[in-house]
Structure 1
C-alpha cells in the first residue's frame, strides 16, 4: 500500500451510475496525477470542472456529496438506493441522482443516470468531484502511461508499443486475470484477481481464497481498517510471497494483503481478490475492453523490492487532532491500547494542532524514529511509545 492507508477493495455491489451513451472521439493524451490513485480533470455537463478518480473496480459514475452540494443546478431528481461493499455486514441507504449528467474528457463524452452520492472526501482524505468506472471508457481502449503520467481513451490498442499481451475475462463489467503467486516454502497458486485501479495495494485476497491457502502462509501481520472503502470497517492482514508472475514478468517478494471479512465485497467467491495500483504502476499498459486484452510494457525498475508500509498504525490529520484509521495488532500501539477511531492529541509532545500536514506525514513516514503518542480513549489521555516498523 502507498501511504499506510488501506482503501480495502473499493468494490460496490450495485452498478454505479447507469451509462446511457458514450462517444469516443480522436483523443490526445491527458495528464493525470498519481498518489496511489489515477486522478484527472474532466467536465460535468460541458461546463463544471471536477477532479475524478478512475477505478476499474467500479462500472459507472459516483459523485462526492460535497461536490454535489456546491453544484445544486446539477440535480433535478433525487432518490434513495441501498448499497453494500467491503467489510459491510448489510446494506445502507444512500442518495442517488436520477437525472442524466454528462462527463467529458476532451472529445470523449459519456452520459450517466442513477448516480450514487457518497462522502468520498472522507474516504480519500481530499476533495474530489467523483469516481468513474469502466463504463466511462465506452468499450474503447484505455492507454495508461505511468512513465509520462498521461492517459488516453482511443479506438485502437497500438499493440506495437507494448512488450506483451494477455487475455482477460470481462464479467460483470470488471476485468479478471490469473497471475501465478509463489508462496514462500509453499505451492504456486493462481487466484482469479480483479484489476482494481481504485485499490492502492499490490494484491488483496478475498476471505474465502485466503482461508483456502492460509495453511501454506507464515509471518502474517493482522490489522483492522476504519472506513474501508465506502462501507465500513474491515479486518485483514498481509504477508510476503516469494514471487508473482504477471504475464511474462517475474516480480520478487510482493506484499500480499488479505481480507478476513465474512460479509461484503471481500467475501465474494466468483473472484479471489484484487490487483491494485502498486503493481500496475510498474507498467505502462492498454486495456482493450472490446477484445478483452491487456497490453503491458514494463517500466525501469519494475522488479525493485516492494516496501512494506506496516507501521503500527495509520492516522489521518483532521484539524487539531488525528484519527486512527488502521491498527496493526502485533505492534506496540495496538497492544498499548491505541485502536481504530481513537483520537491522537500529540506526537513527541508536539500538539497535532501545531503540526503542518507535511510534518505530520513525515512523522509517520520515517522509519526507525521513536514516537511518543498521546491519545484520548474513553475521555482520558493515554500514552504509548513505539518505533515505526518495529514489530513486537
Structure 2
C-alpha cells in the first residue's frame, strides 16, 4: 500500500498579503465564495458515488450499524479499520491479535488483526471477510478516512470506476465494455490472485526508455512510482539531472518515505500516450517500494485520465480516455498535507522547494490557507487549491508560535 499526494485541477483564489484584520476577514469571505458549492451529481442506474480527492472515498456501513468513510485501495487485500473507530464501536474484542504489516514506508508497522467475520455494505453490495486489520490509519491519511477496503471486495467481479464523474458500478459478468475501451492484459502479482500488475511503456528521457510491469495501486495518489530496485538497475541517479527530493514523516504503512520527483517525457498504456508526466522514484531500502517482483506503482494521478473497468475474474483492465485525458499537472504546493480536525499537518515536503525555503517544516500545523480555515475546506477542495497557480498565504503554528508565510507554487 502506498499513500502519496499529487493533487490536480485549478481554482482561482484571492490572496491578500500583509494587510490588517479587517481586510484579512474580507479576503477570507472572497476566498470562501470562490470555493463555491459543488453541484449535485447525477449518477447512472446502479452507480455508487465516491469522492475523488487523490484517493477514492466511499460511504461504507460496517456490520449494518456503523457508518464509516473508507478508501478503496487495490494495493490492499484486507478490510482495514482505523483504531479510533474500532475502539468507539467494536472494542473490547477477544478476537484481537497483534500483527506486523508492510506497506510503502521504509519499515514494518505494528498493528492488530481481528479474526472475527466482518460484514460491510457499499451501496447495495454486501461483503463478508474473515478478519480485519486494525491500526492507526488516520496517522497516515488524516481524519477524513476511517478505514480501507480492497481487493477482497472486488474478487471475481467486473467493476467500473469513473474518475471524471466520480462513481463506481458493479457490472454484470456478461457486460461488454462500450466503444472506445481498450483491453490491457494484466498479471497477478502472486498466487493469491489479489493484486494486478499492468504493463507500461515509460520514456524517462532521450537516454532511458523501457517496458515495465507496475502494480496497480489505487491507494497511491501519484501517477507512476519507480521502485528503488529498478532505479539501481537503470542507474537513474546518473541519468536524471532535474530531480526534487521529497521526504515524508509518514509515507504510508511502515512509516517514513523518501521520494525523488522528476518529469517523465512520456507514458504509454492501452495505445494512449501521456506526455510530461510528474513521476517519482523511491529511495527506500525496505518495504513495498524496494520490491523487485514489480517495477513500481501505478496510481490515481495516472488512472484519472481514463474511464476504467477492472475485470477481476479475467485479470484484465479496460481503459478509455476520458474528458480529463492529457490534462497536465503544472502546479502544486510542494507539500503533502494530512487533514486534522482544526488544521493540516505538513507530512511531506520538497526539500529546497518554495514552501521549504519560505520557512515551512515537516510537522508544522497549518491553520489556514489564503484565509480559509480547515473546517471550510474538504479534501476535494484542497486538491483543487493545491493545483491552482495562486500563491499560498498560510498561517502556521509551530510549538507555541503562530506566524504567516507566503510562497509561490512549484511549477513543473
The TM-score bracket by the shorter chain reads 0.7 to 0.9
Deviations 1:124-163 (A, max 9, x none): 2233342111111131111212343221224426334152
User: Residue 368 of structure 1 contacts residue 390 of structure 1 at CA under 8 Å; is this kept in 2?
Assistant: no
Selected match of 1:341 from 344, 358, 363: 363
1:121 CA drift (Å): 2.4
CA distance in 2, matches of 1:32, 1:390: 29
Deviations 1:83-126 (A, max 9, x none): 2222233x343122111111233553322223111222232223
Selected match of 1:137 from 154, 172, 183: 154
Superposition CA RMSD, Å: 3.1
Corresponding position of 1:240: 263
SS at match of 1:57: coil
User: Residue 331 of structure 2 contacts residue 387 of structure 2 at CA under 8 Å; is this kept in 1?
Assistant: no
Deviations 1:186-240 (A, max 9, x none): 2321221111111111111111112333133231111101211132111112111
Q: What is the TM-score with the length of structure 1 in the denominator?
A: 0.81
Where structure 2 has 5 or more consecutive residues not aligned to the other structure, the ranges are: 9-44
Q: Structure 1 residues 332 and 373 mapped into 2: Cα distance closer, same or farther (>3 Å)?
A: farther
Q: Structure 1 residues 369 and 30 mapped into 2: Cα distance closer, same or farther (>3 Å)?
A: closer
User: Residue 82 of structure 1 contacts residue 93 of structure 1 at CA under 8 Å; is this kept in 2?
Assistant: yes
Greater displacement, 153-162 / 298-307: 153-162
Corresponding position of 1:70: 88
User: Residue 183 of structure 1 contacts residue 216 of structure 1 at CA under 8 Å; is this kept in 2?
Assistant: no
Q: Structure 1 residues 43 and 381 mapped into 2: Cα distance closer, same or farther (>3 Å)?
A: closer
Corresponding position of 2:115: 98
CA distance in 2, matches of 1:321, 1:44: 28
Corresponding position of 2:244: 221
Selected match of 2:306 from 266, 275, 283: 283
CA distance in 2, matches of 1:54, 1:318: 20
Alignment of 1:1-392 (within 5 A): 1-3=5-7, 28-72=46-90, 75-89=93-107, 91-106=108-123, 108-156=125-173, 158-162=175-179, 163-172=181-190, 173-213=194-234, 214=236, 215-309=238-332, 311-316=333-338, 318=340, 322-335=344-357, 338-343=360-365, 357-358=376-377, 366-367=388-389, 369=391, 371=393, 376=398, 386-389=407-410
User: Residue 366 of structure 2 contacts residue 394 of structure 2 at CA under 8 Å; is this kept in 1?
Assistant: no
Moved over 6 A (4+): 345-348, 379-384
1:383 CA drift (Å): 8.1
CA distance in 2, matches of 1:263, 1:36: 24
Q: Structure 1 residues 98 and 171 mapped into 2: Cα distance closer, same or farther (>3 Å)?
A: same
Length, aligned pairs only: 363
CA distance in 2, matches of 1:356, 1:141: 37
Q: Structure 1 residues 356 and 156 mapped into 2: Cα distance closer, same or farther (>3 Å)?
A: closer
SS at match of 2:140: helix
Q: Structure 1 residues 102 and 76 mapped into 2: Cα distance closer, same or farther (>3 Å)?
A: farther
CA distance in 2, matches of 1:255, 1:34: 19
SS at match of 2:249: strand
User: Residue 244 of structure 1 contacts residue 252 of structure 1 at CA under 8 Å; is this kept in 2?
Assistant: yes
User: Residue 368 of structure 2 contacts residue 374 of structure 2 at CA under 8 Å; is this kept in 1?
Assistant: no
Q: Structure 1 residues 322 and 283 mapped into 2: Cα distance closer, same or farther (>3 Å)?
A: closer
CA distance in 2, matches of 1:372, 1:42: 34
User: Residue 118 of structure 1 contacts residue 230 of structure 1 at CA under 8 Å; is this kept in 2?
Assistant: no
CA distance in 2, matches of 1:344, 1:244: 35
